[in-house]
Each structure stands twice: as structure tokens, then as C-alpha cells.
Amino acid sequence: MGDLYVVRHAQASFGKPDYDQLSELGFRQAGLLTEFLAQTGLRFEALYSGEMKRHLDTAQALVPRLNPDAAGAGLRIRAEFNEFDLAAVVNFQLPLLIRENPQLGQDMEALFTDPRALYRILNLSISRWINNPEGLAGVETWPAFTQRVWGGLEQIIRESGRGRTVALVTSGGPLAALLQKALNIPDLSAIDLAWQIRNASVSTFKFSVDRFSLASFNSVAHLEIRRDPALVTYR
């Protein structure tokens, strides 16, 4: 069995014009993870990343943990592990959601100041997207998204071979898809787990050509050991 360490990207720039870049705190989180891995002695024989900037910046921090003797060692970028288009999912449905529930208009005003308002907007939008069998015009469907992620996983397994230790940096959505595959849970249950995923967290899976199972989920021991609650973030 091989070991796949899936890292959710460190904190991006939530509330800023360009979300897709690490914040100052995000760079610190990524650095602390690398320091922690060095202390444990863990090295990876391959390192994969989605192609979004927040993925790549987090992955670059992990490059020193690559085994220099591994064949083809280096960062491997895979678009299959990009996040789904959350902005499109929300924006496409928001007018209808507000018409059905005018309270959501007030939530929009508090989107960047009230985590509960953010959760309500995102959860309603994503749930409707998942439950819409016809999809949204021009927006990737949930089944297409999960198949994309699972296809990327199959490629990692083929390239890695037996017994290797591999890292992957991605977002909460692709990690939810991997959890769904490992645990065989319903779509909305996978999304419920996604809401719990912390920035720069590590989840581990065991893999072979015919098996993929969850070993651990959402660890931020590398942040908690610093005894600073401000280091542990979700968005």
C-alpha cells in the first residue's frame, strides 16, 4: 500500500479582490507544516498540486520534503485537482435564492464579517448545484467534478506504483471528492465534511491499484503545537 498525504492549501486571501493567493498567514501556515514534516523526518517520493496559485504557493513550501533520490522528483501540476468554480455556482443561483428567502439578502451584506452568513449562502448554493440533475448553464456539474478528481487520483496511483509516499496539494472541494471515494458516502455528506477542512491541514489515505481508504483526516498538529489559536483557520 502507498500513502497519499493530501494537504489543503494554506489560508488564501478571503475578502480580497484576488482570493487565489496566499495571505501572510497562509505563507506562515505552509512554512510551519514544512518545519513539522522535517522534524518528523517524513519525505515524499512525489509531490502533486492543482494549478491554482494558492495550491502552487503551498506546494512550493513542501518541495524541500521531496526525496532527492526519487526518480523524477519535482512538483507535478495537475489541473484535475483544481477547485470547482464556486463563484459561478453561487452567482448563478443567488438571485433565485434571495427571491425564495429574502433573509439571504441581509446575509450577503455580512458575507465577509459573519461566518454564519457565509455558510448559509455557500451551503444553499452548493446543495442546489449538487441536487440539480441538469446542471447549471456553463458550470461543471458535481458528477463531472468528482469524475475529474477521481481521474487525477487514478493517474497518481498509476505513476506512483506500490508502497510510495506521495503528497498532493489541493482545495476543499477535491478533498471532499476523495473522501467520498474512500468512504463511499453520499454527495451532501462529502460536502458536510468539506466545511470542516482547515487551512494547511493534512489528511492521509492508503492506496493501491484496487483500494483507496482514509487513514486520517484534517490534522493541523503542526499549527496546534504552536499554541496560537489564530493559526487555525477555515477559509
- Domain of residue 181 covers 2-84+142-231
Residue 161 pLDDT: 80
- The predicted-structure confidence for 32-46, as pLDDT tens digits, reads as follows 999 999 999 999 999
Q: Is position 171 within any domain?
A: yes
Q: Minimum mean pLDDT among 6-10, 137-141, 154-158: which range?
A: 137-141
Look up the pTM and report it.
0.92
Domain match, 112 and 96 both:
yes
* Total domain count, the chain: 2
pLDDT in tens, 171-220: 999 999 999 999 999 999 999 999 999 999 999 999 998 899 999 999 99
Instruction: Provide the sign of the torsion angle of the four alpha carbons 218, 230, 87, 77, taken in this order.
Output: negative
- The SS3 call for residue 122 is helix
Report H helices in the chain.
24-40, 53-62, 86-100, 103-109, 115-131, 142-160, 172-183, 187-194, 221-224
Same domain for 19 and 93, yes or no, is no
Computed over every residue of the chain, the mean pLDDT equals 91
For 49-64, how does the pLDDT look when each residue is reduced to its tens digit (9 = 90+)? 999 999 999 999 999 9
Residue 31 lies in a domain: yes
* 58 and 159 assigned to the same domain: yes
* Structure-block grid coordinates of residue 27: 505563507
Residue 90 shares a structural domain with residue 194: no
